[in-house]
């Protein structure tokens, strides 16, 4: 049985483009906001979101992996194509012309009436969106569209503040970790599809488990918290059990250069071959 999917490698392309290039990304006028930017939080993380278009038919969200280097840009749309898919996406900052290209993947919601598209990035890879008043989206084999995003920079600062408060609630003071924990054992060996729980396999359960690990000063995992459920309690429990048992790190370092407790956040997708 092949391994499942780890979310640890990323591809980004950035380039400065003129306004005509941005215009090529969408053939219609930008969708106007249908509400205000909103920042919400739970123990699993912080989320910045806003709805667009008549009736809020399109939603844009940014969900950073708090304590980690990754972040996710999420689009929720109404789509008649009832299938999951992957492909390439290009986002253009219609204000500055900066361009971001990356892979995306989509899943359908439980009612199969909305399409959820995720683009996984490192935090610094969101830089092309700085200063954007509008963003043009082109997803492979889908009609291009543009969103009007005034106030995005200010909203992202509020998102940063949310993360700082969340880190404090976990007992970690933001800004005190100068080097995050790094895996000392290949992450692909921590959880694989060979570890599929029997009952989950029988039910054909599958899905992505988001998790947060508290890494001790000795590089061992002290706690594992599910930040995004796969939809299967068996898969969620199995993932955290194995991560606590197998994951090993070079611990994070504080401002004095000594090991400190720190956070590692990522996700794993269980896939039935």
- To the question of pTM greater than 0.85 for the whole model, the response is no
Q: How far apart are CA 225 and CA 114, in angstroms?
A: 28
Q: Which of 123, 185, 180, 149 shows the shortest CA–CA distance to 34? A: 149
User: Residue 189 to residues 194, 205, 245: CA-CA distances in angstroms?
Assistant: 10, 21, 11
Taking only the tens of pLDDT, the chain with its 273 residues reads: 344 544 432 222 222 222 233 333 445 789 999 999 999 998 889 999 999 999 888 999 999 988 877 899 999 988 656 567 889 999 999 999 999 999 998 887 766 778 889 999 999 999 999 999 999 999 887 888 999 999 999 999 999 999 999 999 988 888 888 899 999 999 999 998 889 998 998 998 888 899 999 999 999 999 999 998 988 999 999 999 999 999 999 999 999 999 999 999 988 888 876
């Amino acid at each position: 049985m092949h391994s499942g999917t780890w979310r640890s490698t990323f591809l980004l392309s950035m380039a400065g483009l003129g306004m005509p290039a941005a215009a090529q990304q969408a053939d219609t006028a930008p969708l106007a906001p249908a509400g205000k930017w909103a920042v919400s939080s739970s123990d699993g993380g912080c989320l910045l979101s806003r709805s667009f278009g008549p009736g809020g038919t399109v939603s844009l969200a940014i969900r950073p992996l708090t304590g980690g280097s990754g972040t996710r840009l999420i689009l929720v749309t109404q789509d008649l194509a009832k299938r999951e898919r992957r492909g390439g996406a290009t986002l253009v900052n219609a204000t500055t012309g900066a361009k971001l290209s990356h892979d995306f993947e989509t899943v359908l919601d439980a009612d199969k009436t909305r399409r959820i598209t995720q683009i996984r990035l490192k935090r610094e890879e969101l830089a092309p969106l700085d200063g954007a008043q509008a963003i043009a989206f082109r997803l492979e084999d889908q009609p291009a569209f543009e969103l009007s995003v005034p106030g995005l920079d200010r909203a992202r600062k509020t998102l940063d503040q949310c993360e700082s408060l969340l880190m404090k609630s976990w007992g970690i003071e933001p800004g005190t970790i100068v080097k995050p924990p790094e895996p000392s054992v290949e992450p692909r060996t921590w959880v694989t599809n060979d570890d599929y729980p029997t009952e989950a396999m029988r039910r054909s359960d599958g899905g992505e488990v988001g998790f947060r690990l508290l890494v001790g000063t000795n590089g061992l995992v002290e706690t594992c918290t599910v930040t995004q459920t796969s939809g299967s309690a068996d898969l969620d429990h199995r993932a955290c059990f194995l991560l606590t048992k197998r994951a090993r790190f070079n611990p994070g370092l504080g401002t004095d250069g000594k090991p400190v407790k720190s956070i590692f956040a990522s996700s794993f997708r269980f896939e039935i071959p």
